[in-house]
Structure 1
Amino acid sequence: MKKQTKEKWCRLELLVRYRIRKMQHPGRVFAVSCVSILVAGFLGGVALGRHVEWRKAEETMQKETDRYESLQKEYDVVKEQTEAQDKDTRPWYLMLVNQSHPMEEGYVPELANIDASHQVDKRVLEPLQQMLKAASDEGYGLYVCSAYRSVDRQKELFNESMVGYVNQGMNYYEAAIETAKSIAWPGESEHATGLAMDIVSTEYAGLDEKQGETDDQKWLMEHCYEYGFILRYPQDKSDDTGIIYEPWHYRYVGTEAALAIRDQGVTLEEYLNEEY
């Protein structure tokens, strides 16, 4: 539009100069000049008016486009959460495993190696590696200290913990209840899904609340959702999960669900509208 307007001005200027050269009377020269200026002003005004209208239309269209995209995102979030709450349409990465939802007997995920000692469901290996690399690139040190565990290995851990409490003077019932606060019963651990892993700071490897105070862990808690992970057992949420605060236990749920869980400030149980 600017180019066309400029060309009109150039043609008009050439026409005025030509007529001035052909005319002898000063009054006629003045008259032609005035008429030419008026015509030029009119053309310029029309062009400017059209430009303003075009800009307004463009801005309105952009606002409507942004509004539509925002509504579409909200719809997608609600749609995914609705499908996730229906066990028949729930995707694999939102598999729920807890006291009320034990593992399907015989289920073993297809595994991939994180390193020589740890494995995960092969579908989450790439986002896990990307997340750890991003942390490293930002100057933070994190590593996986536990990932996939078979049901048999979970039994060993549970029994070892129970023996420790019994040796402290508890009876077997009390020891089992106390153990279940931090170690899931065999068949009820997310670690058997291959979707959960324990990630700790290179500066502090303790599996206690101090882990959450490290700068490395703080970075991970803030950015894990970008890669589809959530802190599975957050602080002050044991009434919803049945598990104490574990600032090292992460779970893959997909990027959309991770973002929704973070924004809603809920646990996986709450997001899925399920009990523990």
Structure 2
Amino acid sequence: MKIGIIGTGSIGAELTRKLSAAGHAVQVANTRGPQSTAQLAAEAGATPVTLDEVGAGVDVLVTSIPFARMPDIKPIVDRLPSSVPVADTSNYYRHRDGRIEEIDNGTAEGMWVEQQLDRPVVRAWNSVVQSTLQTKARPKGAPDRIAVPVAGGGWLAKRLVMGLVDDTGFDPVDAGDVEDTWRIQMAAPAYCTDLNAEQLEKALGLADRDAVLARREAVLSIIESWDHGESFFDDLVALNRAAAGLSRLLGR
């Protein structure tokens, strides 16, 4: 499959490596140009391209950029055939993105992204921390394989993206339509809690929209007070599990 990836931060770079290793033809771009992606591309076996080129001839486009910058890539997305899925990995963080009133008032993040791009979008890989994506991929059938929820888009688009999640070493779990993407955003039980497929399906069902919005403020306040030390991502998973009250689900 031919895949375009926009963004070379921790998630975009790791997806470039993993999807290339799975045998896909990956072309990768960022705002700084192909010279800045040359080393990553060489390491992964991908092709560095410009933003104008990244969507050319692809079967799927993966966006891995700061959430508030989604409107900036609309011209790129507009050039894609309607049959090409867009898979988005981003999350809304107010300390980085500034306040987005619609989301603060309850609009699901996937809905907001679709509104900016004027196109159906599949949300995937947004609910794993970067250390999980980098180090916890496992072969299909492994007993300790972590699951990744996938939501939004049409059925065919979601099925395609779920296959790519599998290729990156995680069990894909259908998390619903775009209206359900609030179930996989910050402070939801399925968000960055490193669950297996059975646990994740239960966690999706445990989500309560009002509770997610209320907990998000508390979780954000805690995270914003932290230093990003060596244990940051392990601590983040533990915080998310505790905030969502998953001790019974996890048997603890």
Q: Same fold, TM exceeding 0.5?
A: no
Identify the structure with the greater helix proportion. Answer: 1
Name the structure, 1 or 2, with higher relative contact order (CA <8 Å, separation 6+): 1
The two structures have a TM-score, normalised by structure 2, of 0.29
- TM-score after normalising by structure 1: 0.27
**Higher Rg of the two aligned structures:** 1
